[in-house]
């Protein structure tokens, strides 16, 4: 076996993404092996007994661990600067496991109200069924966080930038307030990506991803991940919950995601460049009421965004004049950009949040969150920015009716 001594902790980001976590099998393959196995064999009955007693560390069952899944987890943990990464079958499985594993009846959760629809459902509908109190605040208003966190709290959950209006929340300030209230801070870092924003460095305790989005980034597989340096949370909450409830990432999906990590920094850099170019273009067009993009100076939290993130991100939201009819005319008028509720893909994807991802919200909730009938969320892909602008230009002319 070709073994090389490496100190992967000292590698720089691009190197970690290409090589981090690689474990070669006795066949010395170049590309990471795909171990499609649910179980593992023991050399003797004694070895099995020792494994179950926790006396030897080895693979026992793929619900708990698998070599391909472990390579993905190690590589992502190196990128995030986290001791532990537990991967999951989807982003929502990661959100639910990160919260449900540590909460019990009588606990209190404080969350920002501008959340991905399913995250909001967990906080507002599912957790209260188990006796957890949930409080929602305007994430951009530190006074509201201060007030909500003046009471003992178990957990804080937020997304920054948020979906779909790209609100930016001060992660360090909220983490400080949360810690004073005794809470652990969970950040949904999907929109920012592990390349542009490092919440653990900003004071957060737990970071989670939908790997379905930029980590795969090519529309192939579902996946998720939870990362943290909090050993107590890992040992006493996350691992027992995860092993016994089974939101496990499949080895095949882990392999796709592992290869996705190799190009994540290159792709996110191009996504962000294109997103800025598209945001600047949209900002100059007639018939658009507003453009929301953290990288634009006109964004209400632009300065904060630029201290937390190394670029503005991959998603641009904008509001067309003329409400739903104009928004639909624009979407239907796109020749190249696809209509899809997914994001973080190589292909640019546009969606109408009010009638799709956030359809279930009441009219009042949509209004509070700024999800108007004219709002379009554009996940900017890896195409040539000029082609994107031309497509949007044509579609805008149709939206104008």
Q: How far is the CB of 211 from ligand PLP (least distance, A)?
A: 7
165 binds ligand PLP, rule: CB under 6 A: no
Q: First vs last Cα of the chain: how many Å apart?
A: 66
Of 191, 233, 241, 255, the one binding ligand PLP by CB under 6 A: 191
CB closer to ligand PLP out of 209 and 318: 209
List the Cα angle 33/39/42 in 5-degree steps.
105
CB of 168 to ligand PLP, least distance (A): 14
Pull the structure tokens for residue 292.
């929301």
Q: Does 88 bind ligand PLP (CB under 6 A)?
A: no
What's the min distance (Å) between Cβ of 64 and ligand PLP? 21
- Residue closer to ligand PLP (CB basis): 93 or 202: 93
Determine if 213 is a binding residue for ligand PLP (CB under 6 A). Answer: yes
Long-range Cβ contacts of 24-27 (<8 Å, 24+ apart): 25/67, 26/1
In angstroms, the CA 255 to CA 252 distance is: 5
Binding of ligand PLP by 212 (CB under 6 A): yes
Total residue count of the chain as it appears in this document: 401
Looking at 22, 62, 66, 90, which residue binds ligand PLP (CB under 6 A)?
90
How distant is the alpha carbon of residue 117 from its chain centre? 13
SS3 (DSSP) at 192: coil
**Assigned token pair, 323:** 């409400």
Which of 222, 282, 304, 378 is in the footprint of ligand PLP by CB under 6 A?
A: 222
Q: Does 164 bind ligand PLP (CB under 6 A)?
A: no
Nearer to ligand PLP, 315 or 396 (CB): 315
Per-residue CA distances from 100 to 73, 127, 142, 190 (Å) = 21, 8, 26, 19
Q: Judged by CB, which is closer to ligand PLP: 288, or 375?
A: 375
**Residue (of 125, 194, 149, 144) closest to 361 by Cα position:** 125
> In the bound complex, what is the minimum distance in angstroms from residue 158's beta carbon to ligand PLP?
11
Q: Which is nearer to ligand PLP, 32 or 216 (CB)?
A: 216
CA distances from 22 to 28, 31, 257, 330 (A): 11, 9, 13, 45
Contacting residues toward ligand PLP, per CB under 6 A? 90-92, 95, 116, 119, 159, 163, 188, 190-191, 210, 212-213, 222, 224
């Amino acid at each position: 076996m070709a073994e090389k001594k490496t100190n992967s902790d000292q590698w720089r980001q691009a190197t970690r993404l290409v090589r981090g976590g690689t474990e070669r099998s006795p066949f010395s393959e170049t590309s990471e092996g795909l171990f499609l196995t649910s179980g593992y064999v023991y050399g003797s009955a004694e070895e099995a007994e020792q494994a179950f007693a926790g006396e030897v560390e080895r693979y026992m069952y793929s619900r708990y661990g698998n070599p391909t899944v472990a390579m993905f987890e190690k590589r992502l943990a190196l990128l995030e600067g986290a001791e532990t990464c537990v991967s999951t079958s989807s982003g929502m499985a990661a959100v639910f496991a990160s919260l449900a594993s540590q909460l019990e009846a009588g606990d209190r959760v404080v969350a920002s109200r501008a959340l991905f629809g399913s995250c909001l459902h967990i906080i507002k509908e599912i957790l209260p069924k188990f006796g957890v109190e949930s409080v929602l605040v305007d994430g951009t208003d530190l006074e509201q966080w201060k007030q909500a966190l003046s009471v003992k709290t178990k957990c804080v959950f937020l997304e920054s930038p948020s979906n779909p209006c790209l609100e930016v929340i001060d992660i360090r300030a909220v983490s400080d307030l949360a810690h004073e209230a005794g809470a652990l801070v969970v950040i949904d870092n999907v929109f920012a990506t592990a390349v542009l924003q490092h919440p653990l460095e900003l004071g957060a305790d737990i970071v989670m991803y939908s790997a379905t989005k930029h980590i795969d980034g090519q529309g192939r597989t579902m996946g998720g991940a939870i990362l943290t340096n909090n050993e107590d949370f890992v040992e006493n909450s996350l691992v027992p919950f995860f092993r016994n409830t089974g939101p496990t990432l499949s080895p095949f999906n882990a392999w796709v995601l592992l290869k996705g990590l190799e190009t994540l920094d290159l792709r996110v850099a191009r996504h962000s460049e294109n997103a800025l170019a598209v945001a600047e273009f949209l900002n100059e067009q007639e018939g658009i009421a507003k453009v929301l993009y953290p990288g634009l100076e006109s964004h209400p939290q632009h300065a904060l965004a630029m201290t937390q993130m190394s670029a503005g991100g991959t998603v641009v939201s904008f509001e067309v004049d003329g409400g739903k009819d104009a928004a639909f005319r624009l979407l239907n008028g796109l020749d190249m950009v696809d209509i899809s509720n997914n994001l973080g893909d190589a292909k640019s994807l546009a969606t109408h949040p009010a009638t799709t991802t956030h359809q279930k919200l009441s009219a009042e909730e949509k209004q509070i969150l700024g999800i108007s009938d004219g709002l379009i969320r554009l996940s900017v892909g890896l195409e040539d920015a000029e082609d994107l602008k031309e497509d949007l230009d044509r579609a805008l002319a149709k939206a104008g009716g």
